[in-house]
């Protein structure tokens, strides 16, 4: 039986800060695993 993988929705509070931009880099690196749902600055 095939394993169904679903994306994890991520909310990033403070997306313009250093930790927020690093989190966005991780989401970009793993587009099949993570999806940015909410971004705040």
Q: What is the torsion angle, in degrees rounded to the nearest 10, for the CA atoms of residue 23, residue 28, residue 34 and residue 39?
A: 50
Q: Is 38 helix (H, G, I), strand (E, B) or coil?
A: strand
Give the whole-angstrom CA distance, residue 39 versus residue 15: 6
Q: What is the pLDDT of residue 1?
A: 62
CA 9 to chain centre: 7
- pLDDT tens track, the chain, 41 positions: 666 679 999 999 999 999 999 999 999 999 999 999 999 99
Q: What is the pLDDT of residue 5?
A: 76
Query: Residue 37 in contact with residue 10, Cβ under 8 Å?
Result: yes
């Amino acid at each position: 039986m095939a394993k169904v993988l679903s994306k994890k929705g991520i909310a990033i509070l403070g997306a313009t800060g250093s930790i927020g931009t690093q989190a966005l880099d991780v989401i970009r690196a793993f587009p099949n695993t993570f999806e940015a749902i909410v971004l705040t600055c």
